[in-house]
Amino acid sequence: MASPLLHLAALEKLAAEPRDLPEPLARSLVADTEYGRFGTLLPDLPAFENPAAGLCRLAGLSGAPPPLFSRLFHGPRPVAVLLKAAELVARGALVGRSAGQALLSGWIVHLALDRALDVQAARLAAAGPDAGRPERAVRRVAHFQALLYLRERFGREPLGDAELVQWMRVAKRKGMPWAGVGGGLFEVTRLSLLEVYGQAPTRAQADAWVRGLFVASKLLASRLGSRIGRTAAADGLKPALYVGPGVDFPTALDRGLSLAREYLGHLDRLLARGDFGKRARGRFLSGVPENEAACAAA
How many whole angstroms from its chain centre is CA 47?
13
Residue type, 66: P
Classify 236 as helix, strand or coil.
helix
Region label for 246, one of left (φ > 0), alpha (ψ between -120 and 50) or beta (otherwise): left
> What pTM did the predictor assign?
0.94
Give every CB contact of residue 8 below 8 A, 6+ residues apart in sequence: 37, 40, 41, 167, 168
Q: What is the pLDDT of residue 295?
A: 45
pLDDT value at 193 more than 80: yes
What's the CA dihedral at 107, 108, 111, 115 to 10 degrees? -160
16 contacts: CB under 8 Å, gap ≥ 6 = none
Predicted pLDDT at 2? 84
pLDDT digit string, tens, across residues 241-275: 999 999 999 999 999 999 999 999 999 999 999 99
Domain ranges of the chain: 4-297
Distance CA 67, CA 144 (A): 22
Indicate the burial class of 173 (C-beta count within 10 angstroms; 0-12, 13-18, 19 or more): exposed
Mean of pLDDT over the chain? 92
Residue among 213, 187, 209 at smallest CA distance from 200:
187
